[in-house]
Amino acid sequence: MRIPLSAPDVTEREIEAVAAVLRTPHLSLGPKLAEFERDVAAYAGTRHAVAVNSGTSGLHLCVRALGLKDGDEAITTPLSFVASANALLYEGARPVFVDIDPRTLNLDPRRIEAALTPRTKAIMVVHLFGRPAEMDAVMAVAERHGLKVIEDSCEAIGAEQGGRKVGGIGDVGVFAFYPNKQITTGEGGVLVTDDAALADAARRMRNQGRDPSTDWFEHVELGYNYRISDINCALGLEQLRRIESILRLRESVAHRYAERLRQEPRLLLPEPSVAGGRVSWFVYVVRLGENFTREQRDRVVLALRERGIGCGRYFAPIHLQPFYARSFGYRAGDFPHAERSAERAIALPFFNRLTEGQQDEVCRRLIESIDRAEALA
C-alpha cells in the first residue's frame, strides 16, 4: 500500500539498543528483561510487571493465575480482537458476552449484572481502540459480586481514567506490543498487577513452570514457553522512554482526521476525548451512517485499497466468528449494537509519522468512495 494502515516508529536509538544486546551473552532472561519490567510497572503505576511474548500469552496467564477453570464464566465484550475471549477458552472458562455502548464501543457496564450467574468469576474489560472503558462502573459491579477484573489493555497503553492508567485499575491488566501498537517490541506483551502472588505465578508459568528459587530442570507446575527475549525488551525500553511524545503524535493525527471529516454527515467519528481521562489512540475508526449496509462499507474499503490506501474492517464481532457461532450457537441479532457498529466500521491509516498530505488524500478518497457506494445502493 502507498499509504499503509499502520507502520512502526523505530529510530536509530532503538536499533543501537537491540544491537548492543546482540553483543552480549544475555539474549533471554537477562538484565534487559528485568529493566523493562521495572519501567513498565512504574509507568503503569503497579507494583509488578511480567513480560511475555505476546498480549495473548499475557491474557492467558491472567486467566490461569486467577484460577478460572472449566465451567467458570467471565463477562466480556463481543467487539474485540478474538484473543480476549480465546484466553478464557484456553482454561475451559466460558466468555459470556454483553453488548456494547454504541457511543464508546466498549462493554456497557449497565448490562453486566443481568448476565451474571452463580458461575461468573470475573469480568474481562477491553479498552477498545485505546479508549478507556467505564472502569468506575465496572469495578463497582465487581465489588458488589466478588468478581475479579482483568483489563485487556492491549490496545491502550497510556490511556487513563480517573487519574489512573488503564491496566492498573483492575486486579490485573495486559499490554501488547505488536508492530501496529502505540509502542512495539516486535512481538511481546506485559502483565501488570499489584498482586505479588499473581505476578509470581505468571513468572513461573511463562517459563515452563519453573520456580526461580529451584533447579532449572525442576518444574513445579504446568507452564508454557511464553518468554520474551532481551532483544525485544531492549527495543521496548527505548520505545517506552519516548512514549509521551509518541502518544502526542498520535493525538495530533487523530485530531487532524477529526478536523477534515467532521463536516461529513455520513460519517460517525470517534469522540476526541473522554471525560476524566485520556484516550491512547491505537487506530482511527470511523463508522458509516445508520442507513449504510455492510456491503456498502465493504465497497468503500475495496475502493480505498485499490487506490493504495490501507484500511481495515475493525472488528468482526467475536460471537459471529465461525468457531464461536459453531461452538456456542450464536447468531446474528444476539448483540445488535456490536453487530451494527462493526458492519459500518472502517479503520483508516493511522501511525505516528502519517503526514498531513497523506491524511488529505485518505480523506478525499474516502469521501469519493462513499459517494460511489451510495450511488450503487
Cβ-based neighbours of 275, under 8 Å, separated by 6 or more: none
Asked whether the beta carbons of 166 and 160 are under 8 A apart, the reply is yes
- Across the beta sheet with 94-97, the strand order is 48-52, 189-193, 172-176, 148-152, 120-126, 73-76, 94-97
Burial of 327 (0-12, 13-18, 19+ CB in 10 A): exposed
What does DSSP assign to residue 131? P
* Backbone φ/ψ region at 124: left (φ over 0), alpha (ψ -120 to 50), beta: beta
User: In 10 A of CB 143, how many CB atoms?
Assistant: 10
Strands (E), 77-114: 94-97
Chain position carrying cell 532503538: 14
Q: Is 32 a catalytic residue?
A: no
DSSP β-bridge partners for residue 95: 74
Closest to 67 (Cα-Cα) out of 175, 198, 189, 200: 198
Q: How far apart are CA 157 and CA 160, in angstroms?
A: 9
Burial of 288 (0-12, 13-18, 19+ CB in 10 A): buried
User: In 10 A of CB 265, how many CB atoms?
Assistant: 7
Residues with catalytic function: 181
